[in-house]
């Protein structure tokens, strides 16, 4: 139950709605519980007539008629109140569900890239959907049914005690047994429902990854083995659910049995009292009705307990993420003007999940408006430099200066807003091409979009599509080629007009002719912008103001194209090799 305490702030936020809902529930149950009394009274009226205590049949008929009208009125009115009760409590639970989903979503946004690397998408999705649904069942139906149950118990027992204390005590005999079984079974339910939720996450993650990588699955023809893996997880999931249901199923028969025993006690003990002339037949009927009124709330004890246990398990899973402090935080609320000078000073960086030291003692400076090219073999640490500059990770060793001040002291959002990043493997949303480009600048005009696309040399390709810029991409639409994707992504970065442009090996999927065109356009676009070009190709790097060559996380060469050619070494070898490839 500890985890659910997190929701107290929401109960407090919506306290008035809850209080009104609970008040309506109380009134509706108090009114509904007038029915047994009216039924009992009606039987007593008939009994009194049969025993000759009352003689006027017209009076008896009149009283019975009034009682019938009252029973109908009470039923209708309490029905209306039940409707109002659902309108308040269930609607409030939907509001809390909305708030909680937003809170989780915002937390997801704040958490760093490392968090996403450590957690699987399916699991993240499950916590924001399945787990929140379980929690909603707690704040809505569970609150409603618990109030119902408590009111029914209090009112029924108060009425029963008022009628006959001895009979009430006899009726209560099976209840301690009932409480004990609820206590033990609910403990088991809690354990088993936690396992069920974890298993469901596994299943969602597997399915989500399978759908994302469906092209690989199909091209390798491994549908069968994937289906077998799915069956295995799904089977396990089914077994865990059956395991849980077995305990859930034990609740109802035991409750019905205990209530049945109460009924027998009422008939037996009440019958003896009737024979002794202590009570009337109508009173026994009234008592029986109360006991049966209690069947439903007692039966729901199981459901409520299981719901609370499941919600607690789900909220604990949600809290695990909500309580995680983001690794990357903004330490400066004031806005920072960014000019674009970047300095890496003795930067060493180790990824904590793999313990790989991707960068070792890196030192370089790029002045505002300059272009720097970073070359190196795969895995040499090129992308890591960019990730540190975008503050997707923070360094512990060495310092990165932005405009001569530690980058951590600058406003994080200003830094990111002034970086136009084209990643190695660009991601485009399932939206129109236009919106994918506008992602870099929401209020961009049509002219700006076209200009950016022309600079990225993708305009002609876009115009070849029947719907042009309105072409939908992704799952339901057109699939772009790798090179087209890279160029749409370049247009997205250009349109942002940031102070720092980063191209992370983003020309790898275009031919050298298009690469030439893009580079010459970029030269115009990136005037006055600090530009990082990461590449395996000399053709992309040669015009940069500065070139650094990385090997196994270390800078092995640094200088301009001409300086590096004169110096010889890795850069010159690569240049000659690529020149040869071009000639052939």
Ligand X SMILES: Nc1ncnc2c1ncn2[C@@H]1O[C@H](COP(=O)(O)OP(=O)(O)OP(=O)(O)O)[C@@H](O)[C@H]1O
Which parts of this chain interact with ligand X (CB under 6 A)?
A: 117, 351, 353-354, 356, 358, 376, 378-384, 424, 505
Give the nearest distance from C-beta 368 to ligand X in angstroms: 24
Q: Cα separation of 280 and 287, whole Å?
A: 11
Smallest distance from ligand X to CB 2, Å: 33
Q: How far is the CB of 350 from ligand X (least distance, A)?
A: 9
- Report, in Å, the least distance between residue 538 CB and ligand X: 15
What DSSP letter does each residue of 185-244 carry, written as one string? HHHHHHHHHHHHHHHHHHHHHHHHHHHHTHHHHHHTT-HHHHHHHHHHHHHHHHHHHHHH
Q: Which is nearer to ligand X, 358 or 444 (CB)?
A: 358
> Helix, strand or coil for residue 321?
helix
Using CB atoms within 10 Å of the CB of residue 234, give its burial: 0 to 12 exposed, 13 to 18 middle, 19+ buried. middle
Residue number with CB closer to ligand X (199 or 384): 384
Of 353 and 464, which has the nearer Cβ to ligand X?
A: 353
Q: At what angle do helices 130-137 and 121-128 cross, to 10 degrees?
A: 20
DSSP state of 339: -
Of 377 and 451, CB closest to ligand X: 377
Q: Give the strands of the sheet with 371-376, arranged side by side.
A: 419-422, 500-504, 530-535, 371-376, 546-551, 554-559
Query: What residues are paired with 402 via a beta bridge?
Result: 342, 405
Residue 64's CB: how many other CB atoms inside 10 A?
Answer: 16
Q: What does the angle CA 417 – CA 418 – CA 420 come to, to the nearest 5 degrees?
A: 90
Between 26 and 375, whose beta carbon lies closer to ligand X? 375
Structure tokens, 264: 């027998």
Token pair, residue 139, equals: 């704040």
Residue 381 C-beta: closest distance to ligand X, Å: 4
Closer CB to ligand X, 21 or 381, in the complex: 381
**CA pair distance 209, 216, nearest whole angstrom:** 11
- Judged by beta carbon, residue 97 or residue 505, the one nearer ligand X is 505
Which candidate, 477, 488, 376, places its Cα nearest to that of 427? 488
Find the shortest distance in angstroms from Cβ 364 to ligand X. 15
Separation in Å, CA 484 to CA 216, 258, 505: 21, 71, 14
Q: Which two tokens stand for residue 136?
A: 């909603």
Shortest spacing between CB 121 and ligand X, in angstroms: 15
Q: Shortest approach of ligand X to residue 376 CB, angstroms?
A: 5
Q: How far apart are CA 158 and CA 152, in angstroms?
A: 10
Residue with Cβ nearer ligand X (133 or 397): 397
For residue 320, the minimal CB distance to ligand X (Å) is: 21
Angstrom CA distances, 337 to 271, 409, 497, 532, stand at 89, 12, 14, 20
Q: How is residue 488 written in tokens?
A: 């749409």
Least Cα distance to 136 among 83, 103, 100 occurs for: 100
Alpha carbon distance 515, 538 (integer Å): 12
Question: Which residues are 357's β-sheet partners?
Answer: 350
Nearer Cβ to ligand X (313/490): 490
Cβ proximity to ligand X, 204 vs 535, nearer residue: 535
Closest to 11 (Cα-Cα) out of 133, 100, 85, 82: 100
- Give backbone dihedrals phi and psi of 169, rounded to 5 degrees, phi first: -60, -40
| Closest separation in Å from C-beta 111 to ligand X | 14
In the bound complex, what is the minimum distance in angstroms from residue 221's beta carbon to ligand X?
Answer: 28
Q: Give min distance, CB of 508 to ligand X, in A.
A: 9
Nearer to ligand X, 100 or 388 (CB): 388
| Separation CA 31–CA 42 (nearest Å) | 17
Structure tokens at 165: 């204390």
Q: How far is the CB of 457 from ligand X (least distance, A)?
A: 23
């Amino acid at each position: 139950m500890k985890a659910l305490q997190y929701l107290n702030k929401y109960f407090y936020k919506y306290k008035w709605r809850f209080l009104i809902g609970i008040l309506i529930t109380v009134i509706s149950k108090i009114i509904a519980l007038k029915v047994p009394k009216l039924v009992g009274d009606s039987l007593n009226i008939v009994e009194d007539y049969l025993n000759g205590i009352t003689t006027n049949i017209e009076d008896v008929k009149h009283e019975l008629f009034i009682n019938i009208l009252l029973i109908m009125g009470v039923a209708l009115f309490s029905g209306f109140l039940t409707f109002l009760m659902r309108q308040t409590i269930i609607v409030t639970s939907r509001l809390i569900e909305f708030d909680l989903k937003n809170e989780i979503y915002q937390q997801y946004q704040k958490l760093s890239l490392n968090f996403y690397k450590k957690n699987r998408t399916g699991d993240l999705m499950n916590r924001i959907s399945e787990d929140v649904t379980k929690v909603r069942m707690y704040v809505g139906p569970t609150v409603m049914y618990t109030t119902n149950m408590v009111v029914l118990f209090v009112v029924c027992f108060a009425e029963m005690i008022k009628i006959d204390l001895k009979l009430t005590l006899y009726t209560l005999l099976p209840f301690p047994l009932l409480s004990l079984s609820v206590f033990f079974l609910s403990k088991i339910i809690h354990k088993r429902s936690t396992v069920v939720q974890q298993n469901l996450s596994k299943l969602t993650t597997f399915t989500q990854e399978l759908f994302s990588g469906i092209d690989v699955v199909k091209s390798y023809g491994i549908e069968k083995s994937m289906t077998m893996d799915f069956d295995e997880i799904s089977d396990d999931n089914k077994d865990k659910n059956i395991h849980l249901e077995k305990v859930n199923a034990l609740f109802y028969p035991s409750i019905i049995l205990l209530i049945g025993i109460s009924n027998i006690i009422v008939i037996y003990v009440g019958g003896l009292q009737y024979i002794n002339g202590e009570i009337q037949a109508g009173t026994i009927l009234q008592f029986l009705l109360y006991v049966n009124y209690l069947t439903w709330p007692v039966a729901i004890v199981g459901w409520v307990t299981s719901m609370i246990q499941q919600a607690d398990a789900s909220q604990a899973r949600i809290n695990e993420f909500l309580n995680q402090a983001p690794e990357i935080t903004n330490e400066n609320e004031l806005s920072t003007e960014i000019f674009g000078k970047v300095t890496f000073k003795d930067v060493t960086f180790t990824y904590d999940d793999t313990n790989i030291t991707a960068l070792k003692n890196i030192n370089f400076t790029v002045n505002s408006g300059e272009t720097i090219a970073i070359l190196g073999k795969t895995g040499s640490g090129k992308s890591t430099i960019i990730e540190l500059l975008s503050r997707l990770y923070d360094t512990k060793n060495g310092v990165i200066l932005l405009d001569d001040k530690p980058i951590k002291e600058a406003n994080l959002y200003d830094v990111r807003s002034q970086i136009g990043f084209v990643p190695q493997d660009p991601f485009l949303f399932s939206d129109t091409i236009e919106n994918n480009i506008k992602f870099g600048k929401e209020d961009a005009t049509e002219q700006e979009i076209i200009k950016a696309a022309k600079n990225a040399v993708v305009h002609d390709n876009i115009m070849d599509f029947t719907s042009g810029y309105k072409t939908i991409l992704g799952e339901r639409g057109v699939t772009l080629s790798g090179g087209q994707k890279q160029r749409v992504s370049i247009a997205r970065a250009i349109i942002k007009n940031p102070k720092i442009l980063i191209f992370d090996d983003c020309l790898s999927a275009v031919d050298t002719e298009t690469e030439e065109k893009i580079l010459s356009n970029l030269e115009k676009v990136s005037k006055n912008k600090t530009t990082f070009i990461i590449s395996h190709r000399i053709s992309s790097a040669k015009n940069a103001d500065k070139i650094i060559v990385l090997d196994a996380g270390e800078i092995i060469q640094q200088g301009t194209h001409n300086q590096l050619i004169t110096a010889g070494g890795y850069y010159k070898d690569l240049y000659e090799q690529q020149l040869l490839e071009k000639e052939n």
